[in-house]
Amino acid sequence: MPRDYTIQKLPSRPASDIDYASELNESQFAAVTAPPGPALVIAGAGSGKTRTLTYRVAYLLDNGIDPRNILLLTFTNKAAREMLERVEELVPHDTKDLWGGTFHSVGNRILRKHAERIGWARGFSIMDREDQKELMQSVIADSEVDPKVLRFPKPEVLGDMFSLARNTGDALEEIVEMRYPYFFHLLEQIEPIEEAYEQKKQDTNSMDFDDLLEKTLRLLNEHQDIREMYQRQFEFILVDEYQDTNLLQADLIDLLGLPQKNVMVVGDDAQSIYSWRGADFRNILEFPERYENAKRYVIETNYRSVPEILEFANAAIAPNRQQFKKNLAPNRPDREMLPALVPVNDPNTQAAFVAQRILELRDEGIELDEMAVLYRAHYQSMEIQMELTKRGIPFLITSGLRFFEQAHIKDVASFMKFAANRKDEVAFKRFVRMLPGFGAKTASNLWRDWMGCDGATAEKVECFSDYLLEFKVPKKGAKHWEQLAWTLDELVDADGELQAPAVMITSIIGGVYEDYMRSKFPNFDNRMQDLKQLEKYSEQYEDINEFLSQLSLLAGQDAAGATQEAADAESVCLSSVHQAKGLEWRVVFVVWLTEGMFPNARVIDEDDEDRSGLEEERRLFYVAVTRAMDELYLIHPNMWPNSHSGQVIQRPSRFLDDVPTGLTEEWRVGMGW
């Protein structure tokens, strides 16, 4: 007969002296002290989400939960580190055994212990983007694909395709058809690359970042003993920013949360804005359906913004049908200043208003680093970058490189520079190296040929192809070389005179560069929008040399002084709304609030029954306005100059129409000259 033996519980650890009821508001307290079981915490913008999670961990520890039985999942290591540091300040418990970190770091930790169960050694390498690119390149080289003959997707583009398919659970065919339709005709060549890439990773004992999620999930699904071990260990699971989870992350949480289902997810459905990178809005919306009897806690007290801004924000998000209804309530007193609705004549006036108002606010005592300019897409910052540069206002950009420093801007400019200066070796070699099968050595040989012919010294060249098509080029790249020569021909008129800059840009994009961008850059659409903006900017110039000089001067100012000055001193933040999420400023300017700009043109004509794209755009607008603490400026140009059709009328964003007029104050902007 077996003998009964009981492990006695250790004496209780000393509890902290936290007075939870007094240190938290009523809604926060309810969530922090929630009983075991599934819980959905809807934490509105500026409502103390991090504070709620931190105190929840402290509360569990105070109630005798062993740190090793708590799993805290975040989206950044910084967030996890800050929360755990705060917990250690709150409670007299050792938290080193608490599992806290990003989904990927937790996946890596599990795989390091059990990787051999799915065919990897525990010492596997984790590839970064550059490593992944090189491995993918070797897979392509070993395949039957010849990228020197056709515009095959570059390794980084393939990596994004495969990643999106894995994180969304969609078939690769569907991903290519919906997101990369210009490569759909190559699907039969792309699919074997994905299979070979997976095998190559295993052969080299390497994993990419997606594997840290996918392989962990596979491990737990295929091996019951390991799955049950971690299910027993993680008695309480807490998840930050749950609205940003993708399919893999949600499945991992659901699997680890069985059978106790002590899963608390914290997030804000109104700030779900990352579907383009695989986040699934349905995860948070359908949580109550997946977790029967889940408790819902709504935290609505906002500690960030003045009442006038919050009233506007509540009205802005109200039209969305797919949401958990909430009403942000202010904790701050009235400021007696409504959000400013600022119609302006054109993009240049918009930039001038923003710059002048920034200087006025600085004179009123608001530091530059307490102000931000937000926009839907990076290219919409071009005129503002130029205006701030002209006025000597330092700025930092978090949405990407400064406009004129970007590779695709420099690429297009290289064609124009060569057309204007036939001895520009750097420009010539830059665009030659874009061609499939043309490397640095070929570019150098072709440059030597060019300098040896009459075209290099002629003041005017009526037909570049007369010279270039005589050069010896790689046979596989002959057609691309021909197209390049013909594109250069379009940059001059029949008399050998240089075309206007806008005409040149159109020819370069349509001739060779659009195809190159599709294969080279994962974010093709965004870069194309940049080039369209550059084309519109160029319409004010007839002389190519004047235009190129302006580009060079602005780029030179960017590189030579502005960046360092901004890094060393206070500076205005220029950011896309996506990059601004989670941040706050005293003053926020939201620009380009016109139809087709914000909301983005791609979603306006969508035929989805649930209007999911448009609703995400509205959530993005909501994120933008809730970044503001004291003052909010909503700006929309009425006109967009166009050299072909004159002034193009711009309609204000429908998001502005959604808000009652009494919640904003209109500013009439006039010109003082």
Does the annotation mark 49 as catalytic?
Answer: yes
Does the annotation mark 240 as catalytic?
Answer: yes
Query: Is the distance from CB of 378 to CB of 404 less than 8 angstroms?
Result: no
Q: Which one from 13, 33, 50, 514 is the annotated catalytic residue?
A: 50
Q: How far is CA 506 from the centre of its chain?
A: 28
For residue 224, the surrounding DSSP H or E stretch is helix 224-233
Angle formed at CA 619 by CA 613 and CA 624, multiple of 5 degrees: 130
The residues, ordered by sequence, that sit 6+ positions from 395 with a Cβ below 8 Å of its Cβ are 385, 388, 562, 566, 571, 572, 573, 574
One-letter identity of residue 483 = Q
Per-residue CA distances from 143 to 206, 504, 518, 660 (Å): 20, 38, 21, 60
Q: Which one from 304, 402, 627, 654 is the annotated catalytic residue?
A: 627
Which 3 state secondary structure label does DSSP give 100? Answer: strand
Q: Which one from 28, 95, 132, 271 is the annotated catalytic residue?
A: 271
Beta-ladder partners of 125:
206
Q: At CB < 8 A and 24+ separation, what contacts does 200-203 make? A: 200/135, 200/138, 200/139, 201/127, 201/135, 202/119, 202/120
Q: Which one from 62, 210, 214, 241 is the annotated catalytic residue?
A: 241
Q: Which one from 240, 244, 268, 489 is the annotated catalytic residue?
A: 240
Does the annotation mark 489 as catalytic?
Answer: no
DSSP of 336-393 = S-PPEEEEESSHHHHHHHHHHHHHHHHHTT--GGGEEEEESSGGGGHHHHHHHHHTT-
Does the annotation mark 411 as catalytic?
Answer: no
Angle formed at CA 314 by CA 574 and CA 277, multiple of 5 degrees: 50
Number of helices and strands in the chain (H, E): 31, 19
Q: Which one from 28, 49, 326, 581 is the annotated catalytic residue?
A: 49
Which residues are part of the catalytic machinery? 49-50, 240-241, 271, 627
